[in-house]
Amino acid sequence: MRKQIAAANWKMNLTLQKGEELLNEIIALPHSLNEDQQAIFAVPFPYLAMAHQKMGGYKNVFIAAQNCYNKKSGAYTGETSVEMLQSIGIKFVVLGHSERREYFNESNQFLAEKVNICLENSITPIFCCGEALSVREANSQNEFVTKQLEESLFHLSAEQIQKVVIAYEPIWAIGTGKTATSEQAQEIHAFIRSQFAAKYGAAVAENISVLYGGSVKASNAKELFSQPDVDGGLVGGASLIAAEFVAIINALK
Ligand code: 13P
């Protein structure tokens, strides 16, 4: 059965001290995760070890990196390998966030290589996809997202694809306060699952968690997560406020 996941993406925010404070506040607030639920914190690289040490002991709680490089090791100044992440106990990496695609020119092909190196090293990619406003306005979101999935993921085997978490994040809803309606989210999540079903079969598609991202907050999480194909959220702004993120965890189905 696929997992229901509340994933925090801190992006390039907070200091070490503020990050630690936030995690302490989250721990102190009442929340619960059942067997099929996970909470994941994608924190900046310098805080990975601290966050893993603090949260690693809690059941179904994981720390994620926000990126990794596509090469095993070598002369790539400033980059971080999956082996490095693994050596400090990290099991998840966010890949292909629209901010990385836009500001760092990450292509579908480049992301395919990152997906491969993660899976080869037993790290779960949280693979982001999603369209810009102009694409949505042209009603081409299905074709756009299909191309992202095809070019970065469809070379994987059925066994491998079930180790990937998908995050659908419409760019027009990221940091804008404008959330996709639960109907819009359900529609495209069902479409994404249907693409996996067409490629890998329905049983495999049923095992893949598809998270929604884009202005998820305490006030809309329950409604979004109640949709049958929305398996949780990847949360930016609201994940920086303890009470908000805990409410989002508690909104998981
Ligand atoms: P916001 O929740 O701030 O809209 O960000 C979403 C996001 O990009 C998560 O990766």
Residue 244 Cβ contacting ligand 1 at under 6 Å:
no
Q: Is 224 exposed, middle or buried (0-12, 13-18, 19+ CB in 10 A)?
A: buried
Pocket-testing residue among 129, 131, 166, 235, ligand 1, by greatest number of atoms within 8 A of Cβ: 235
Question: pLDDT value at position 59?
Answer: 94
Tens digits of per-residue pLDDT, 128-178?
999 999 999 999 999 999 999 999 999 999 999 999 999 999 999 988 888
Q: For residue 34, what are the contacts with CB-CB under 8 A and spacing of at least 6?
A: none
Cβ–ligand 1 contact at 233 (below 6 Å)? no
Check pocket membership of 214 for ligand 1, CB cut-off 6 A.
Answer: yes
- Measured from the Cα of 11, ligand 1's closest atom is 10
Residue 178 has a pLDDT of 82
- Put residue 236 in one of left, alpha, beta given phi > 0 → left and psi -120 to 50 → alpha: alpha
Whether 97 is a known active-site residue: answer: yes
Say which amino acid occupies 143: E
Distance, in Å, from the CA atom of 85 to the CA atom of 97, rounded to the nearest integer, reads 18
Cα distances from 175 to residues 14, 83, 168, in angstroms, run 16, 32, 14
- Whether 9 is in the pocket of ligand 1, judged by its Cβ within 6 Å, is yes
| Residue located nearest, by CA, to atom 2 of ligand 1 | 236
- List 99, 131, 169, 244, catalytic entry: 169
* 174 touches ligand 1 (CB under 6 Å): yes
Q: Which fold has domain 4-250?
A: TIM Barrel (3.20.20)
pLDDT tens over the chain, length 253 residues: 899 999 999 999 999 999 999 999 999 998 889 999 999 999 999 999 999 999 999 999 999 999 999 999 999 999 999 999 999 999 999 999 999 999 999 999 999 999 999 999 999 999 999 999 999 999 999 999 999 999 999 999 999 999 999 999 999 998 888 888 999 999 999 999 999 999 999 999 999 999 999 999 999 999 999 999 999 999 999 999 999 999 999 999 8
Cα–Cα distance list, 186 to 8, 82, 156, 165, 243 (Å): 21, 33, 25, 17, 26
In ligand 1, the atom with minimum distance to the C-alpha of 175 is: 4
Whether 155 is catalytic is no
- 191, HSE (Cβ side, Cα atoms, 13 Å): 18
| Domain ranges (residues) in the chain | 4-250
Q: Considering the entire predicted model, what is its pTM?
A: 0.97
Q: Average model confidence (pLDDT) for the chain?
A: 97
Q: Specify the pLDDT at position 186.
A: 98
Nearest to 234 by CA among 149, 136, 126: 126
pLDDT score recorded for residue 30: 85
Q: Probe ligand 1: pick from 169, 224, 245, max atoms within 8 Å of CB?
A: 169
| Ligand 1 centroid from CA 73, angstroms | 30
| Atom in ligand 1 nearest the alpha carbon of residue 213 | 6
User: Which of 5, 10, 11, 102 is the pocket-test mutation for ligand 1 (most atoms within 8 Å of CB)?
Assistant: 11
The residues near 47 (Cβ < 8 Å, ≥ 6 apart) are 14, 16, 19, 20
Which residue's alpha carbon is nearest to atom 5 within ligand 1? 236
